[in-house]
A and B are shown apart, each in its own frame.
Chain A
Amino acid sequence: MSQNGIFDTTINLLGKSLDLRAQNHNRISANIANAETPGYTPTTLSFEKELQGALRSKGEATPSVTHPRHISLKGDAGSLDLVQGSVVEAPAESPGLDGNGVELENEMGKMVQNQIMYNADVQFLSKKFAALTLAIKGSF
């Protein structure tokens, strides 16, 4: 039984994923903005592995309640909330003569992928809420 009431781990996971993808979008925007800046090295937010790890180790990293006056962390997603992702430099294999490591096509591809995944997350989240509404009201 989840301590999180009616909101399960999936909803927390989707929320976290939205958060991280929004951050990643900021990062990709910065790379595209600096596509012509000499010496700029593009960065990207890597979080998939960390998110997967947090999901697998659920419960392990959450502080346990050993005293009745301890305030428990909400639900199973204690370690999910701590996922921040890591910023990694991702320069092109052959940077230009001005030392700029941005490949515009690459960044556009990453942006579209990130956007599609973001939209998918929003859609999943919408469906989760719709299912909850259905369970509560018996109809949409």
Chain B
Amino acid sequence: MDFFTSLDISSSAMSAERTRMNLISSNLANANSTRSVDGGGPYKRKDAVFTATPLAGSFSNAMNQANRGLARVDVTGIVEDSTSPRIQYDPTHPDADAKGYVSLPNVNVIEEMADMISATRTYEANVTAAQAAKSMALKTLELGR
């Protein structure tokens, strides 16, 4: 039992949210990319997979009653959204097919913006939790002053 456990958990979440934020940036930046480097057609929306990992890394942690059930969060994978691309009629586009249709990435800009707000708020909540842990730990050091 200590406040470093709490800081560990909060920082794992901050790092996970940052990864998600990077993916959202990537999705927004490529909202109109019709080509990928490997020639696989338009860009596909990417999303992070969050997994709650129990804090039982070390023996002492596993034996510690107080830490039972505590979980940090890890990004265990980045998955591509396999929904079909947006189709737009634009015969002048260099990537238009024979009928004049262009396949655009399956990125919905509004959804990405909403995700971005959610990621920001969760990140802020974790910063607040870390700050609370820090202030509580420092308060304890004032005991007996």
Cα distance A19–B65 when bound, in Å?
13
Among B13, B65, B130, chain A packs the most CB atoms within 10 A around the CB of B13
Min CB distance, B63 to chain A, in Å?
14
Q: Which of B67, B129, B139, B140 has the most CB of A within 10 A?
A: B129
A36 x B122 contact (CB < 8 A): yes
CB-CB under 8 A for A126 and B145, given A19-B1, A30-B72: yes
Q: Which residues of A contact B126 (CB under 8 A)?
A: 29, 32-33
Q: Mark B118-143, 1 if CB is under 8 A from A, else 0.
A: 11011001101110110110011011
Q: Given A26-B67, A111-B128, answer yes or no on A34-B13 (Cβ-Cβ < 8 Å).
A: yes
Categorize the interface residue count of chain A: 20 to 34
Report the interface size class on chain B.
Answer: 35 or more
- Say whether A37 contacts B129, CB under 8 Å: no
Measured between alpha carbons, how far is A122 from B1 in the docked complex, in Å? Answer: 17
List chain A residues, Cβ under 8 A from B57: none
Contact A33 B9, beta carbon cutoff 8 Å: yes
A residues in contact with B143, CB < 8 Å = 122, 125-126, 129
Q: What residues on B are CB-neighbors of A107 within 8 Å?
A: 125
| B10 contacts chain A at the CB level, 8 A cutoff | yes
Q: Is the interface of A mostly helix, strand, loop or mixed?
A: helix
Which A residues are in CB contact (< 8 Å) with B55?
A: 30
Inter-subunit contact B132/A126 (CB<8 Å): no
Residue in B closest to A27 when the chains form the complex, CB atoms: B70
> Which residues of A from 98 to 117 have beta carbons under 8 Å from B?
104, 107-108, 111-112, 115
**Contact, CB under 8 Å: A29 / B118:** no
* Contact, CB under 8 Å: B139 / A122: yes
Asked whether B13 lies within 8 Å of A32 as measured between CB atoms, the reply is yes
B54, closest chain A residue (CB) = A30
Q: Are B2 and A22 in contact (CB under 8 A)?
A: yes
**Contacting residues of chain B (58-86) with chain A, CB-CB under 8 angstroms:** 65-73
